[in-house]
Structure 1
Amino acid sequence: MIRILLVDDHPILRHGVSALLSTQEDFQVVAEAGSLEETARALTRHEVDLALVDLDLGTGNPGGIEVTKMIRREFSQTRVIIFSAYDADADVVRALDAGASDYLVKDTQPTQLFRVLRLTAGGDGSPSGNLTHLLRRQNDPEALTAREIEVLGGVAAGLSNRELARELFISEATIKTHLHHCFTKLGVDNRQAAVALALKRGLIRI
């Protein structure tokens, strides 16, 4: 039996996912949580093999990345899958860095969700699924790096090179270098086109 904790700030969504998982004989939702604090309490009270954690837990609250870090730091026997409405590269990189074993979007088909849950619970804790795909993509010289995605996200938010440099604690020259690499990899020649293409590909969001 795979013991699962659902972490999402929307009770109705948790109820729906729980009902879906209950159709499988080897899944048991042992607890639900809507915040970092509730997650910690649930893990203290229950034995959990796998936490399915939403990336966004509401404005002003610690999100799924912070929850993942806490789980991996304090309850290392519990593996984490980030479950999000978005699959932007920057979010997947952050999930991997935080210690997540996989990353799924919420429009994933149930059969795929079941498969990844079983693989993650029965595996050795190494990244799989979307994270493995990301690792392969990161080795592609044409793929944007996490920092380049971060810079493009700032451009999309309307920040100037000077503002970006100040926010990221790097020089304006470095910002220009990152942007040049973005233009080359995306096959565009200006900021607006780079942002438009990055949004279309789901690399960033605004």
Structure 2
Amino acid sequence: MNDAELENWFAANQHLLESAYLAEQEPWKQSGFSGSQDRWVICRKPIAACIDQPGCFLDIGCANGYLLECSVKWLAERAVDVIPYGLDISPSLANLAKQRLPDFASHIFVGNSWTWTPPFQFDFVRTELIYVPEELREAYVERSLQIFVKPGGKLLIAEYRSRKDAHLKQWMLNECLQQWNISVEHYQSGVYQGQELTRVAVIKNSLH
């Protein structure tokens, strides 16, 4: 994929997500979740469960900021204080996140995680492999660890499934990380009505 093709890939992905998310009213649906709020909690709370100490938390692909808002609340229930930060490729979605988190509006950035350079590194960073084309995913994980995550911090790579995909046996996340020989500290799962719909790989930054 050359530079022009890559630019077109990101632009098409941005347009697709903006069109889908901005057409919704419920905050979890503006974050790309098609189910109920109860299912949202079960399928997204595992991300907060991966955060085990206070620190700065960057959500890459933060959309309208609802996951950040919920994570701060869920972690506060465990007496874990985090400072939320968000990054999204869409200015329109990032503006929604700023409105949702007015006290942290300056913590919401607009940029492409494949090329964006953060002002500093974070203790915890959530992302997904699908944010870049397949042939760039290994390099994306390496870049995320090197650029976004503090030494000793943790990269949280999430993979989500719809209920119609729950019958699939293997997770892309596991296959890719095993193939790339990336050490995973542990996996966190979200199970709804007996179906695993969320899996999060926790990777400690030991590259520095």
State the TM bucket, normalised to the shorter chain.
0.3 to 0.5
Q: TM-score normalised to the size of structure 1?
A: 0.38
Whose helix fraction is larger, Structure 1's or Structure 2's? Answer: 1
Q: Which structure is richer in relative contact order (CA contacts within 8 A, separation 6 or more)?
A: 2
Q: TM-score normalised to the size of structure 2?
A: 0.37
The higher radius of gyration belongs to 1
